[in-house]
Structure 1
Amino acid sequence: MFVPLLLPLIGASPAAARPLPIPPGPGEVPATGSPLPGAGGGSTPAPGSASGNAPGSTSGNAPGNAPGNASASSQGRTPEDRLTVVIFDSGRRDGRYELRCHPTFGTLPDPQGACDQLDGQTRWDRDLFAPVPADAQCTMIYGGPERAHVSGTWAGRPVDTDFSRVNGCEMARWNRFSRLLGEPAHPSEG
């Protein structure tokens, strides 16, 4: 319309008259793969927004995993979510398994169920695979001989952790990852 005609008068170039791209909606990743300036794009996330880090960053803050947001698989997380699971002394599922999420692939019996379970527990401000704190008060109930080692990368964080069922806290932790580690041969409350 009149904008191209007025541009030479105000000293702006015709490139400045191009319409700005429409920013993505809540929970969407910009097409360029970089954060947008403004709310949610700085180092302090806006309430209810993603962490503000660029997709694929390894600072420990996974994009789209703030509490209350939709699952990370719908928010453009990079396919860096990969885990290797080695299960020992289970009596039936001993072996080495691979899991990849976003997109889902793996040698576990139910890779999609494992990815969904992990996504449901992932939060940008918390280490999903953190061990039971040393000062935790746990019931001294033995849950069975099952052990597992999980390594890889989840939500931009390195994972290298062990699981067992030696007390109530460890059984509860195992049960939170039941789709990844499998149901124990010796089920107990946990």
Structure 2
Amino acid sequence: MALFPVAACLLSLTCLAPAPPPASTLQLTSHDNAGRIGSVVLTCEPAGGTHPKRERACAVLEGVNGDFARITARHQACTLIYAPVEVTAVGTWRGRPASYRTTYGNRCEADRDSDGVFGF
């Protein structure tokens, strides 16, 4: 006797388990005018990848639901030396395509203004 889909669901309890959150995986890069390039992978939920402070970076992004433009800069002094750093983020945030690109005045500003997300 074949079980109906509802009965099979109730017997296995798989229909009662919450779905896992969609994956969040980002490729973060930085490039400065001296030709130095940095690149890390950041995965969240759970935190992972090659980012040196992945737990903190994920917490920052989770606080703004993956919207890089809403990140609040932390209080930190940086030099006023202009050495532009272009940063990008490409990937998915909770299953949605994500893309961000901006230029900071120097590496310290990139770290400070992204609250560590681009601090690598």
Secondary structure class of the residue paired with 1:181? coil
Instruction: Give TM-score scaled by structure 2 length.
Output: 0.60
Q: 2:85 aligns with which of 128, 143, 146?
A: 146
Q: 2:116 aligns with which of 174, 179, 184?
A: 179
Amino acid at match of 2:31: F
2:21 aligned partner: 77
**d(CA) in 1 for partners of 2:62 and 2:113?**
12
Amino acid at match of 2:27: T
> What aligned pairs does 1:103-142 form with structure 2 within 5 A after superposition?
103-122=46-65, 128-129=67-68
* Superposed structure 1 runs of 4+ greater than 2 Å apart: 141-144, 173-178
Q: Kindly tell me: are residues 144 and 115 of structure 1, through their superposed partners in 2, closer, same or farther at Cα, counting changes over 3 Å?
A: same
Instruction: Give TM-score scaled by structure 1 length.
Output: 0.40
Q: CA deviation at 1:177?
A: 2.3
Q: CA deviation at 1:144?
A: 3.9
Q: CA deviation at 1:142?
A: 8.7
Amino acid at match of 1:154: W
Q: Kindly tell me: are residues 175 and 82 of structure 1, through their superposed partners in 2, closer, same or farther at Cα, counting changes over 3 Å?
A: same
Q: Is the 8 A contact 1:87 1:95 kept in 2?
A: yes
Secondary structure class of the residue paired with 2:116? helix
**d(CA) in 1 for partners of 2:81 and 2:94?**
32
Residue correspondences, number: 95
Amino acid at match of 1:99: L
Amino acid at match of 2:98: V
Q: CA deviation at 1:143?
A: 5.8
Q: Is the 8 A contact 2:42 2:51 kept in 1?
A: yes
**Residue segments in structure 1 that go unaligned for 5+ positions in a row:** 1-14, 22-29, 34-75, 132-140, 184-190
Larger Rg belongs to: 1
2:101 aligned partner: 162
Q: Is the 8 A contact 1:165 1:174 kept in 2?
A: no
> % of aligned pairs identical?
27
Amino acid at match of 2:88: H
RMSD: 3.4
Q: Is the 8 A contact 2:90 2:98 kept in 1?
A: yes
**d(CA) in 2 for partners of 1:98 and 1:154?**
13
